[in-house]
Amino acid sequence: MSNQLSLTEVKKENEIYKERISFDVKVNGNDFTINMTPYFSPFKVENLVTSYSEFAAKAGEEKVTIRDNEAIDIVHCFVIKEFTDVKFSNAKKAKSILAEFKQLMNNRLYKELMMAFPPESLNDVYEALQDKLAVLSKLQNDLVKTKLEIDELPLENRDILFKDE
């Protein structure tokens, strides 16, 4: 017979999200210590996915092009931003954020940092992004179906209802 689960046990298990590791790196001839959280709490993963979504939306509004091969690297930069103490600027414009991320991606430190994260933690991020994309795709499909249904309705005064089309 199994024991009844208590939130005390959940709290103990969540302690893993408080774990921090440090490692030394050399950048531009100077020594630095980087602290990182190797295990990602679901809450922080959701924050990261939201940050990426907001960035992608801003990029679209600002007409900033994100090449397909850059998308995963940008996600990785958000991982570094969320789960390390590397200092990033407070840039709000997608163009500025992307320029900053490209500086990081163009440095050996980027690969070093990404290799330090456990694969299971990165997989949590990838799964959360996939889930969000699946929901967005379903919503988009539902909108298309609804529009088609509306278009097929035998409406009088159609020109008044759909004057913007």
Average pLDDT over residues 81-93: 95
End-to-end CA distance of the chain: 65
Give the total residue count for the chain.
Answer: 165
What global pTM score does this model have?
A: 0.79
Q: What is the DSSP string of 89-145?
A: ----SHHHHHHHHHHHHTSHHHHHHHHHS-HHHHHHHHHHHHHHHHHHHHHHHHHHH
Per residue in 105-155, pLDDT (tens digit) is: 999 999 999 999 999 999 999 999 888 777 666 667 667 667 766 667 676
Task: Give the pLDDT of residue 58.
Answer: 93
d(CA 28, CA 14): 37
Name the region of 93 (left: φ>0; alpha: ψ -120 to 50; beta: rest): beta
